[in-house]
Chains A and B, each alone.
Chain A
Amino acid sequence: MSDAGKLRPTSDSDAPAPLEERFTAGDPAALREAFDRHGSVVYAIALRCLGAHHDAEDVAQQVFVRAWRGRATFDSRRGPLGAWLVGITRRQVSERLAGQLRDLRTADRAGHAAPPPDPAPVSEQVVDAVVVADELGRLSPQVRAVVRLAFFDDLTHQQIAAVTGLPLGTVKSHLRRGLDRLRRGWAG
């Protein structure tokens, strides 16, 4: 797209690069910042995959503990911190699911349980949907409001302009800008 460049958001809430540097350097405050910034994505993925709050909390804990202990190996050239944490989350969740399956099979062999389900892989769709939901929450309030009206209230851009009082051109550019940012959240 020849005009993709000019539509790229320049401000919004892009995480400042220094967090990743400070995290790798072992600045303890950076762990808290990473938890505040990415904790809900990690927790939400775990919760949607595992169902139980208790398991999701365990996974979130393990993800940040492992990330911190392995921070020397985080390489920002291979992707942002958030994506790295999501990768660790997927692995933790799939291990947890595999463990549950093993438990079920053991119980099954003992004759106590229904046949276990197949292990559910960590679904791409679950992960992507969480990432998109996270990005949606990070849009500037006006862009987010416009996008929400289009997504969840099924309004056309003309209706959105009428409802919000924003000029039609502004609505269209907000839609473009918001959607572009959400797309980059899951599609890179």
Chain B
Amino acid sequence: MSSFQGVDYYNSEILLAEDERLVRNTVREFVDDNVLPIIEKHYEEGTFPVDLVPKMAELGLFGATLPARYGCAGLNNVAYGLMMQELERGDSGVRSFASVQSGLVMYPIYTFGTEEQKDHWLPKLASGKAIGCFGLTEPDYGSNPAGMITRAERRTGGYVLNGAKMWITNGTIADVAVVWAKLDGEIKGFLVERGTPGFTAPEMKGKHSLRASVTSELVLQDCVIPQANILPGTGGLKSPLMCLSQARYGIAWGALGTAMACYDTALNYAKSRIQFEKPIAAFQMTQEKLVYMVTEITKAQLLCVQLGRLKDQGVARFTQISLAKRNNVYQALEIARMAREILGANGILNEYPVMRHMANLESVKTYEGTHEMHTLIVGEDITGIAAFA
């Protein structure tokens, strides 16, 4: 049971299978019991709730779409999306942890790795005994990852890596980093383990957003890794972009979770807050905001379910994922801001989740492809003309 009853204006519940609903309800209850009671304190103190990792692993949240032989649940994409929705209804930082572990670490190892790499890492990552991170973005190469400076060179028995990565979720706490570097001019993926000489991952401080999440730099200085640590299936920018498509898909659902949390909070507040002897929900300007929220949530829900079905059929295009990530995060941020307005001064307090979600969504709007880049990706797709690069 959850005190959160969901938002379902269009009876989209009937679009979900029984097991998909059960996954959502289970994660919803888990978030109510384990995330919501502790998250404000972690947010305020700027700490990631590491105690959640074994609990999330026990539930099977990591690599949930991967097959049972690696200790994973083998969910379809809609169930996976619903799981992300509920996690982010808790906090974007908690969802980010699961996104990175699943979509950006386990997925590339599963897709591009050797049997040995899969057998070694996937069960550890699924059980939360190992934490992973994904190093693509660099200080000077964000939206333009093709220009990355990080280099790999062959060395007897392995590779030597040099370069720096930035804005890396989980970096400091990771046991293994999936690092992208150019080898003979081609982008390849490498597994760099914690403690490897020449590899450090200092935490970035001073964030006003995603405060319950670890964000780090990765510094590679003559870092030598064994031959066996290259992901042999990787080749070119397409490889990391495939990973990002996984993560962006989860974000499209996750944003919906924050939007639902903010709408639910604002609706309840508006119905109980009395001004001029009536609930503020009775005022037209409040109703307009609430209607905007429920409309955008409803549209985003339908978008997500259809995208998930396409993904399950193997026909979802990355441009469609861009459209969903762009729209849903943008609308979630709008909804968070409106919710804050409805709550008035109370909206800035941590008694309500609204301001935290709003601040988090500012990051979510920019990471995993900025709002602007997704605009240009869809723009290129429909016009055939690239407006960048």
Q: Do A and B come from one complex?
A: no
